[in-house]
Structure 1
């Protein structure tokens, strides 16, 4: 996927999350391990959100590999340490297709 398409998907995901009551804390947080697309807060829990887009749900969600999830987790640990965050947290995904956006909560492999 081109960076432009990725930026459009992330922009749609940010709007979707805001409309769903999430507070956007940061976008595109980088560490030496990788990147987290969007970091949000809702109901006193921190959500690390990976945005994936595709022509359909399956083609998008299957791009979250075990290696990608491992990098997200390590990067989340860096973020929490940097911000002295010690509370509940979860890893989510927003899947962006031409027809809809879907929040997949608590992604695990």
Structure 2
């Protein structure tokens, strides 16, 4: 996926989160392990969100591999340490398709 398409999907995801009571804390946080697309907060829980887009839900969500998830979690730990945070958090995904946005909370493998 091109960076431009990724930005469009992330913008849609941010709008979805805003409309559902989340506060966007940061976008595109990078560490040597990878990137966190969106960091948002709601009800005193920090949500670390990977945004995936595709023509359908299945093709998009399959791009979150166990390896990708491990790197994502390492990046979360870098963010938490860098910002001296000890808060509840959730590892989430938002899947953006042409006709829908799906919010998947607490993803694990």
Q: TM-score, normalised by structure 1?
A: 0.98
Write the distance in 2 (CA, Å) between the matches of 1:21 and 1:64: 25
Shift of 1:13: 0.3
**2:61 is the alignment partner of 1:27:** no
Q: Distance in 1 between matches of 2:56 and 2:77?
A: 31
Partner of 2:82: 82
* Equivalent residues in 2 for 1:44-63, closer than 5 Å: 44-63=44-63
With structure 2 as the length reference, what TM-score do the two structures score?
0.98
In structure 1, the residue matched to 2:103 is 103
Instruction: Give a deviation string over 1:36-82, Cα, whole Å, max 9, x none.
Output: 00000111011000000000000000000001100110000010011
Write the distance in 2 (CA, Å) between the matches of 1:5 and 1:101.
Answer: 15
CA RMSD, aligned part only?
Answer: 0.5
| Distance (Å, rounded) in 1 between the aligned partners of 2:33 and 2:100 | 30
Alignment: residue pair count? 109
Give runs of ≥4 in structure 1 deviating > 3 Å: none
| Structure 2, gaps ≥5 residues long | none
